[in-house]
């Protein structure tokens, strides 16, 4: 990704994965 300022990439990924977990019971 080509972002100049990233508000903690790991945090965003964690949030995204959390949402995925909500949608898909893994």
pLDDT confidence of residue 4: 64
How far apart are the C-alpha atoms of 6 and 1, rounded to whole Å? 10
pLDDT confidence of residue 11: 83
**Domain limits at 9?**
1-26
What are the structure tokens assigned to 17, written together?
């994965």
Number of domains in the chain: 1
How far apart are the C-alpha atoms of 24 and 5, rounded to whole Å? 30
- Residues 1-26 have pLDDT tens digits of 556 666 677 888 888 889 889 988 76
What are the structure tokens assigned to 1, written together?
């990704």
How far apart are the C-alpha atoms of 9 and 21, rounded to whole Å? 18
How far apart are the C-alpha atoms of 16 and 19, rounded to whole Å? 5
pLDDT confidence of residue 6: 62
pLDDT confidence of residue 2: 57
What are the structure tokens assigned to 20, written together?
């995925």
């Amino acid at each position: 990704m080509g972002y100049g300022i990233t508000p903690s990439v790991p945090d965003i990924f964690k949030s995204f994965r959390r949402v995925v977990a909500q949608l898909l019971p893994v």
